[in-house]
Structure 1
């Protein structure tokens, strides 16, 4: 009888020993597997999001910026509004036509209103004088890309012309002699008649 009891206790001891020795290993393996799967999943998620999160320029972006800047006569800068540059480039060479605002012909305010609508979704007043009344006035040395530049023919004279400031002293506009083009504020005519700059504030 004693021997039977001893044999039973020994068998039970072996079973318990086997259980405690192998269960942690199995759990550890399962945990390791789970951690590996989670790491793989997270890695996949980060790999998917990374190109958007970093905002890195592609070679295509770089080429486009350079192309637009060259056409506009400005230095390429990859923080410029590419849509604005591309839109202005698409209007270059459009003939001047008083009272119109299409690519078959446009006057200065027509050009500005179309560009702002296409690029920013903003509807501006149709005349340069009305635009001037609605913008936030800024100093000449504080102008930024997308600001408006206004011109008049001497003190006390009404505003007669408007353009879109680009950078490096250059602005895009539709001129009576030549249509949509890029000119410099340092040119004698525009330097003499420059009146003020204004910033369009979104509602």
Structure 2
């Protein structure tokens, strides 16, 4: 058993050595510079946090049920993933419970630093309209119960026809716009324009 474990560790070590280049330069204290990944690294403009998020995209994809790649908005996907399973609570916006607009306001504040009004109708009034076939990750999706009825629900579009929202019958979850209830009540999509 010990030999098998040691062989596995040696193989993993060997495999990892192909992914790292050691710079010949020395650090400030005379110690060798840290290794930098050569095959896995890329500059996404977000520093180490962005790199970590990009590596976690697979996890976010699985948790949210979408096909995401490293070019996706990792901060948004991470924030939504952290809220999954939060119970529904009318008028609230904490991880102990949140309603739909409370969820959207917290996600936009945490992911983008954007403050939105805690009201789906106000969000609708302030968002730039987007055609359903032109929606992008992070756009808002609005619902109403028929012509002339007010907006009553809001969620955040992910991709592949899916959106994240806080539903009265399950809390924060991911649903499909093709589900009969949401397909029937979908009203419009809007994009938040930061000032």
Q: Which runs of 5+ in 2 are unaligned?
A: 1-24, 26-35
Of residues 133, 137, 154, the one that matches 1:162 is 154
How many pairs were matched up? 156
TM-score normalized by structure 1?
Answer: 0.71
Of residues 67, 72, 80, the one that matches 1:80 is 72
Measured on the aligned residues, the alpha-carbon RMSD in Å equals 2.6
Shift in Å, 1:78: 1.1
Greater C-alpha Rg? 1
Query: Aligned partners of 1:175, 1:181: CA distance in 2, in Å?
Result: 7
Query: Aligned partners of 1:164, 1:173: CA distance in 2, in Å?
Result: 6
TM-score normalized by structure 2?
Answer: 0.74
8 Å Cα contact 2:55-2:70 kept in structure 1: no
1:130 corresponds to 2:122 = yes
- Equivalent residue for 1:182? 174
The CA deviation string for residues 164-186 of structure 1, in whole angstroms up to 9 with x for no partner, is: 00000000000000000000000
- Equivalent residue for 1:104? 96
8 Å Cα contact 2:57-2:69 kept in structure 1: yes
The within-5 A match list for 1:1-203 is 54-55=42-43, 63-203=55-195
Higher helix share: 1
